[in-house]
């Protein structure tokens, strides 16, 4: 007669060996995938963005120092846009101010972008001609609305 318990141990051994191989491949795969390049962290900064009729002043009011080479600014309105790349030479540190000229009218939106982390650090939108008139004590002239 043959011993039937021997067949069971071969099956259990194959299942255990397969489980060990699956676990080993999973651990190695997870290790390889997690060791890839990590995205840059977004700098934490407090920016004051002042928009006038002809200029945009961006002041670093506190937080992390930002590499000036990775600092871009986009200025746009309803019909046009201007882009400034690498607006600071060196580091952009607290109390630094960047003045940028613009020729846009209407509602002007400013985006300050850190290209290193691909994130928006600051956003401001205003209508500088209305603010300028209010600051001078003059009534603001609203655009004509057509139906």
Q: Is residue 9 part of a domain?
A: yes
Q: Is residue 69 part of a domain?
A: yes
The CA-CA-CA angle for residues 110, 104, 141, to 5°, reads 105
Range of the domain at 2: 1-34
Chain segment 87-110, per-residue pLDDT in tens:
888 999 999 999 999 888 889 999
Q: Provide the domain count of the chain.
A: 2
pLDDT (0 to 100) of residue 7: 56
**Is pLDDT of 64 > 80?**
yes
Dihedrals phi, psi of 62, to nearest 5 degrees: 150, 160
Same domain, 65 and 122: yes
**Cβ density class 16-29: b for 16+ within 10 Å, e for less:** eeeeeeeeeeeeee
Q: Is residue 39 part of a domain?
A: no
Look up the CATH number of the domain holding residue 113: 2.60.40.10
Q: DSSP 3-state helix, strand, coil percentages of the chain (rounded to 5)?
A: 30, 35, 40
Query: What proportion of the chain, given as a percentage, has pLDDT over 90?
Result: 47
pLDDT (0 to 100) of residue 138: 47
């Amino acid at each position: 007669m043959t011993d039937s318990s021997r067949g069971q141990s071969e099956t259990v051994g194959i299942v255990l060996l397969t489980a060990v191989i699956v676990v080993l491949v999973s651990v190695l795969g997870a290790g390889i995938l997690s060791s890839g390049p990590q995205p840059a962290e977004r700098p934490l900064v407090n920016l004051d963005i002042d928009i006038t009729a002809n200029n945009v002043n961006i002041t670093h009011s506190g937080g992390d120092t930002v590499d000036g080479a990775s600092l871009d600014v986009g200025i746009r309105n309803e019909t046009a846009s201007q882009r400034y790349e690498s607006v600071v030479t060196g580091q952009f540190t607290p109390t630094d101010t960047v003045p940028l000229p613009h020729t846009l009218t209407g509602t002007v939106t400013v985006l300050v972008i850190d290209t290193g982390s691909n994130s928006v650090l600051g956003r401001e939108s205003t209508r500088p001609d209305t603010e300028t008139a209010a600051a001078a004590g003059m009534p603001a002239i609203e655009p004509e609305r057509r139906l």
